Amino acid sequence: MTRKKAISPFDLALAAVFTPLVCVVTIMFSIYVPDTQGFFNIGESIVFLAALLFGPFVGAFAGGIGSMLADLLLGYPHYAPATLIIKACEGAVVGALKIRNPKFSSKLNWKFFTLVLGVVTGFLLGWVGTAYYSGEVELTLGTGSFMLYVPAEFWLILGVITTLAIAALGFLADPEFGWTVFSVITGGFIMVFGYFIYQQFFIGPLFNIQAVAIAEIPVNIGQMIVGATVALPIAKIVWRALPYLKQK
Selection from 156, 150, 95 nearest residue 125 by Cα: 156
In terms of pLDDT, which residue wins out, 108 or 208? 208
Residue 90: predicted pLDDT: 98
pLDDT bin (cut points 50, 70, 90) of residue 64 is very high
Domain count, the chain: 1
The predicted pLDDT at position 227 comes to 92
Average pLDDT of the segment spanning 8-30: 93
Distance CA(130)–CA(126), nearest Å, equals: 6
Strand positions, DSSP E, 96-219: 135-141, 144-150
User: What is the percent of the chain where pLDDT is above 70?
Assistant: 88
In a domain, 2, yes or no: no
pLDDT of residue 177 exceeding 70: yes
Q: Residue 232 belongs to a domain with what CATH number? A: 1.10.1760.20
pLDDT at 148 over 80: no
Measure the CA–CA gap between 44 and 60, rounded to whole angstroms. 12
Residue 55: pLDDT above 90? yes
Q: What is the pLDDT of residue 2?
A: 44
Taking only the tens place, the pLDDT of each residue in 89-123 is 999 999 999 988 766 556 777 778 788 888 888 88
Please state, as a whole number, how many other Cβ atoms lie within 10 Å of the Cβ of residue 205. Answer: 8
Give me the domain span that covers residue 29.
Answer: 14-247
**pLDDT higher than threshold 70 for residue 212:** yes
135-141/144-150 β-pairing: antiparallel
- Confidence band for 192, pLDDT divided at 50, 70 and 90: very high
Residue 1 lies in a domain: no
Report which residue type is found at 170: G
Report whether 130 contacts 152 (CB < 8 A).
yes
| Residue 204 in domain | yes
Per the domain annotation, does 6 fall within a domain?
A: no
The pLDDT value given to residue 133 = 67
Sign of CA dihedral 197, 202, 204, 209: negative
Section 149-159 average pLDDT: 84
* CB of 120 closer than 8 Å to CB of 146: no
Lowest-confidence region among 60-74, 189-203, 205-219: 205-219
Residue 4 lies inside a defined structural domain of this protein: no
Residue 1's pLDDT band (boundaries 50, 70, 90)? very low
Model-level pTM greater than 0.85?
no
Q: What is the pLDDT of residue 231?
A: 93
**How confident is the model at residue 124, as a pLDDT?**
82
